[in-house]
Amino acid sequence: MVHSQIISALPSSFEKARTAGDLLFFPSEVHEHEDCGVKFEIRLCPALLHKPNIPTPHFDAASIEAAAATKKPDPFAPPYNSTLYVSEFKDEDEGIEYAILLNKYSVVPNHFLMVTKDYQSQASPLVPSDLKHAYSILLAARKAGQHFFAFYNCGDQSGASQSHKHLQFIPVEEEDGPPLERVARAAHIESEYKPFALPSLPFANHVRRLSISPSASADELEHKLASAFMELLDLCISTVRLAEDHPAGMPSYNVVLTLQHLYVLPRRWETHVLSATGDKLSINALGFAGMLLVKSHEELEAVRLEGPAAILRAVGCQSVHELQVNDGPAVDDSV
């Protein structure tokens, strides 16, 4: 019930926040570019050049403590801006409280966030309750005839700009989700119950097909999503440990969740320097879902020239899926 109320409250909340000036909407246009079998959507949004640039936070304990000491405001801690606030709820099993907030810097209408009310780190993995509620929101949207997917930018190199745990939800026009989802749906896989990789993509990608009945109980939903996530996270950690030039520290990764698939994409770097312009392009989970964001025509041309898949390979990891499938996840605990 709470999940469907979120979906039904979105349009009026969005208009109210925009009219009040608390939500900034940046118009954009989408350019398609096919690469490695993916119909990438490159969104050109020149207005974002005027958005204040939030530096990527560091997620180690010392940096978080230092940020707290400077009393830098945390936009995802209560009290919330009343026009960006949509609702809140509590997971009765885990006792975790969540708030639903509209994205203050919106490129797509009705883009919203599910944040933990208590401070949790954006470098921490998703927990079963996060996954269950995220999926339930996607399900509620589908019941209302709308299509959303969820994403999570986890860690220093993931493209996250806020250190307080937040999952994001963005609407898509097509029933078959973001561009990456169309590739996953078309994939012939060996088993519905095992992780797989999309071999046409030049970067490491770990995917699980979710065979979840819309009438599944909350417990069943939580169990299936949590075990799928743990399997993918194990593979992601194994991929990172096998990567030759991976930065030291906790692994960073992006998560994409649709009604049919869960994806974990390991990361090496947050940004890619475009060879044609020298500009730094920040990539988050949306980039791996097949939706890249550029702020000028020059950046658009530079992305087309270099190719979105090669850019994602540069900020992602090399796939070692074959090795993992043949030998089982190679986890070196000494690293």
**Site residues for ligand B4P per CB under 6 A:** 43, 48, 51, 54, 75, 84, 101, 103-105, 107-108, 113, 153, 159-162, 168, 282, 284, 286, 291-293
Cβ closest to ligand B4P, residue 196 vs residue 229: 229
How many whole angstroms from its chain centre is CA 142? 19
3 catalytic per annotation:
no
Closest approach of ligand B4P to the CB of residue 204, in Å: 20
Closest approach of ligand B4P to the CB of residue 18, in Å: 13
Q: Are strands 280-282 and 271-273 parallel, antiparallel or unpaired?
A: antiparallel
State the CB neighbour count (10 A cutoff) for residue 185.
13
Closest approach of ligand B4P to the CB of residue 334, in Å: 31
Cβ closest to ligand B4P, residue 194 vs residue 297: 297
Output the CA–CA distances (angstroms, integers) from residue 52 to 48, 172, 224, 280, in the order listed.
8, 26, 40, 16
Q: Are strands 24-25 and 105-106 parallel, antiparallel or unpaired?
A: parallel
Q: Which strands, in side-by-side order, build the sheet including 148-154?
A: 85-90, 97-102, 112-116, 166-171, 148-154, 252-257, 261-267, 206-209
Closest approach of ligand B4P to the CB of residue 211, in Å: 29
Cβ closest to ligand B4P, residue 118 vs residue 220: 118
Cβ closest to ligand B4P, residue 153 vs residue 252: 153
Name the nearest CA neighbour of 130 among 208, 226, 212. Answer: 226
Three-state SS at 27: coil
Closest approach of ligand B4P to the CB of residue 8, in Å: 20
Cβ closest to ligand B4P, residue 38 vs residue 242: 38
Q: E-strand spans in 107-162?
A: 112-116, 148-154
Q: Which strands, in side-by-side order, build the sheet including 29-35?
A: 29-35, 38-44, 291-294
46: DSSP letter: G
Q: E-strand spans in the chain?
A: 24-25, 29-35, 38-44, 85-90, 97-102, 105-106, 112-116, 148-154, 166-171, 206-209, 252-257, 261-267, 271-273, 280-282, 291-294
Please tell me the distance from the alpha carbon of residue 143 to that of residue 141, in angstroms, as a whole number.
Answer: 5
Cβ closest to ligand B4P, residue 48 vs residue 221: 48
Tokens of 221: 């939903």
In DSSP terms, which residues pair with 106 in a beta bridge? 25
Closest approach of ligand B4P to the CB of residue 281, in Å: 10
Active-site entry in 3, 133, 166, 272: 166
Cβ closest to ligand B4P, residue 85 vs residue 97: 85
> Which residue is at the shortest CB distance from ligand B4P?
75
Closest approach of ligand B4P to the CB of residue 120, in Å: 14
Cβ contacts of residue 62 below 8 Å, gap of 6+? Answer: none
Q: Catalytic site residues?
A: 166
